[in-house]
Structure 1
């Protein structure tokens, strides 16, 4: 006989309470990670009005999780926010515009270098970076409307 009650619905009262009361609540991330340790080639970013680090997931947050970082960009700059580097894992870097009339529009301009090649992004983009490929600098040159960015890789930590 079919389950007529439907799916079990859990109202989220607080992240801490949800994690205590439910079996899988620990897998829902709604906050950033405190005291993120970044590699030396990653420029230290203090909280500014140009961007907001929204969420962070790695092996420290949930054992066995891969690396994910989510950031909103509000303003452009001529300064690189990440210097050239490589990873021992594949990485996906993404940028999404916030224009509901044209989701392909990045709503700004992002400069990303891949192994010495300069790329200017003006469309919402997914970039696959194979392990070992030198990438960056990364410069958020112009932001006309907020740009959402996330990056992820199967490494347990960003390294």
Structure 2
């Protein structure tokens, strides 16, 4: 419970551990029954996590009915341009491949097919965030499975650190 009038607007939770990477994730959204649903009718879906080893985040191309940003920052908090990773992102119906090898923010307009998204080489951790301009993360066009965060319970900060 908030101790001051506006403390409720400072989001310190929910946190969960990614089933795929084991890394801590902070997430907030407006989706009913999601670990990130803190505020009713929250107008966005925001997720942030560190990536410390290669893996395929999303393998099937898809689009969204809203705009989205994909953010890739070097993991050094004193210099987020210190970036030592190679990430491959496909964009468009023709799956045009792009190499992300420096701190970048990628704008994904509503309806643009995108992914696979593969972290091919990770020599230093990368802070990855997605910002979706809708309260609930939804995919259209080709993706068959539910996003993994829908199945996860909300954890306290103490639980996630253990």
Matches of 1:67 and 1:33 in 2, distance apart? 14
Q: Is the 8 A contact 2:50 2:75 kept in 1?
A: no
Aligned pairs for 1:107-126 within 5 A: 107-115=84-92, 116-126=95-105
CA shift, 1:31, in A, is 2.4
| Equivalent residue in structure 2 for 1:46, among 16, 19, 40 | 19
| Residue 57, structure 1, aligned to residue 28, structure 2 | yes
Aligned partner of 1:92 in structure 2 is 69
**Aligned position for 2:51:** 73
Using structure 2 for the length normalisation, give the TM-score. 0.70
Structure 2, unaligned runs of 5 or more:
31-36, 139-162
Task: Classify 1:47/1:27 alpha carbon distance in 2 versus 1 (closer, same or farther; 3 Å).
Answer: farther
| Residues 122 and 131 of structure 1, relative CA distance in 2, 3 Å threshold | same
| 8 Å CA contact retained: 1:105, 1:122 | no
TM-score relative to the length of structure 1? 0.71
After superposition, the Cα gap between the structure-2 partners of 1:88 and 1:33, relative to the gap in structure 1 and judged at 3 Å, is farther
The higher relative CO (CA closer than 8 Å, separation ≥ 6) is in: 2
Unaligned runs of 5+ in 1: 1-15, 35-44
Q: Are the aligned partners of 2:15 and 2:25 in contact in 1 as well (CA < 8 Å)?
A: no
* 1:30 paired residue among 9, 12, 24: 12
Shift, 1:102, TM fit: 6.0
Equivalent-residue separation in structure 1 for 2:96 and 2:82 (angstroms): 22
**Would the alpha carbon gap of residues 71 and 111 (structure 1) be closer, same or farther in structure 2, given more than 3 Å must change?**
same
Determine which of 115, 133, 143 is the counterpart of 1:154: 133
Instruction: Select the structure of larger CA radius of gyration.
Output: 1
CA drift of 1:32 comes to 3.0
4+ long deviations beyond 2 Å? 31-34, 98-106
Cα displacement (A) at 1:48 = 3.4
RMSD: 2.2
